[in-house]
Amino acid sequence: MDRREFFKTMLTTPLLAPLLLASIPAKSDCELYLIADDPHLFIPLILKELEKFKQTYGRNFTLLNSHPQENNIRRTLIQEGWRCVQKPIQADLILSFTPLGNAAFPSFTLVKDGKIWDIRSRKLSYLWREINKNHSPSLCLTIASLKNRRSDLLSGELVTLYKDGNLIERISLKKKLSKSFRTQEGKITVRVEDGKAWISESSCRHKICLHTPPVSLAGERIICAPSHFLLEIQGQHSVDTSIG
């Protein structure tokens, strides 16, 4: 699968469509998109190569949602010297999972500053070819975001809201309000109070966004994938994304 086909596959995936279609730059230092049934076999090697390009800042990781290989991923990373933490804000590496709409040949790509990163690495080039040619089609998409540590303590000022990839509203975090929006899943309600924002009501089928804690730091996000709805705290860098 070439890079064009890779992103064509991701654009048919509800989780990624609202972000990619809106052309919202990735706020983490680097993001890895990996299609494979056994991502734990490949993530450590990719991370080691990224260290050569100074794309890793620490050794803490977390998983945002349930992953079919989460036990293997956790065990493999711990063996490589990583430490599992509970809160995304404490993590340097944030992993998440979403099923693809259709099975695709295993592959991976890297995104840096919102653009495909054509990293010059012989090991990664070899790994890319090996994954693509020698493994069966997969429905498993793993996203690994390497967080920019400089943004950890930046308080946000605005919450920006996107629906179907389009910016629909900006709200000051100094306000106190509750506002509802119609989505393809029904309705979603955003609550802003005490400098924080969260989803207080949602008709989506997953309900993960509804149970996500409030966000307040610059770059923090809550994504409701079924509703194609994104809530993001405005700032220079992203430190956390909650997927629901």
Of 177, 168, 159, the C-alpha closest to 232 is 159
In a shared domain, residues 110 and 221 = no
Torsion over CA of 115, 119, 124 and 127, rounded to 10 degrees?
A: 40
Q: Is residue 76 exposed (0-12), middle (13-18) or buried (19+ Cβ within 10 Å)?
A: middle
In a shared domain, residues 167 and 195 = yes
Range of the domain at 211: 151-243
In a shared domain, residues 30 and 90 = yes
In a shared domain, residues 24 and 132 = yes
Give the domain-ending residue among 122, 147, 172.
Answer: 147
In a shared domain, residues 229 and 175 = yes
Longest dimension (CA), the chain: 54
Give the domain-ending residue among 121, 147, 173.
Answer: 147
Buried b (16+ CB within 10 A) or exposed e, 11-35: eebbbbbbbbebebebbbbbbbbbb
In a shared domain, residues 93 and 12 = yes
Pairing mode of beta strands 30-35, 83-84: unpaired
In a shared domain, residues 136 and 188 = no
pTM of the complete model: 0.58
In a shared domain, residues 19 and 129 = yes
33 phi and psi angles, rounded to 5 deg: -110, 115
CATH number of the domain encompassing residue 185: 2.60.320.10
In a shared domain, residues 191 and 209 = yes
* Tens-binned pLDDT, residue by residue, of the chain (244 aa): 455 555 555 544 444 443 443 333 345 678 888 999 999 999 999 999 888 876 666 899 999 888 999 999 999 999 999 999 987 777 889 898 888 878 888 989 888 776 778 776 788 888 888 888 888 899 899 989 887 554 444 678 899 999 988 899 999 999 999 999 999 889 999 999 989 999 999 998 777 788 777 888 777 788 888 888 999 888 644 444 444 4
